[in-house]
């Protein structure tokens, strides 16, 4: 079954409930999390997820808008980008 993989990055100041807030939204729209990792990079909380949006109930564009609004609400910068941008740049 084919996947449509998107990388979600969440960057900002660490606080309680970031992962919970983001994953709740992803679950609501049937976005499946394939992998997740978090770290503190250059003093910033940084979370990265690879998600599959092939069964998502919303388009990538809508998801981007939803996540951006969520990010604004919880004071984080959230981006969702097609995986290929990272694959092309960092993998041959």
Chain contacts with other proteins (rule: CB under 8 A) = 7, 9, 11, 34-37, 39, 41-42, 46, 48, 50, 60-61, 64, 79-82, 84-91
CB of 28 to other proteins, least distance (A): 21
Q: Min. distance of Cβ 86 from other proteins in angstroms? A: 5
Give 24 or 35: the residue with its C-beta nearer to other proteins. 35
C-alpha separations of 13 from 3, 29, 45, 73 in Å: 31, 26, 6, 13
3-state secondary structure of 74: helix
By three-state DSSP, how is residue 3 classified? coil
């Amino acid at each position: 079954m084919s996947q449509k993989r998107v990388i979600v990055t969440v960057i900002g100041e660490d606080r309680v409930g970031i992962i919970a807030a983001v994953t709740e939204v992803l679950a609501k729209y049937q976005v499946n999390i394939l992998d997740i990792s978090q770290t503190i990079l250059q003093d910033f909380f940084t979370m990265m997820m690879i998600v599959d949006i092939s069964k998502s109930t919303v388009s990538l564009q809508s998801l981007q808008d939803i996540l951006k609004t969520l990010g604004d609400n919880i004071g984080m910068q959230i981006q969702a980008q097609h995986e290929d941008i990272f694959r092309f740049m960092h993998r041959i």
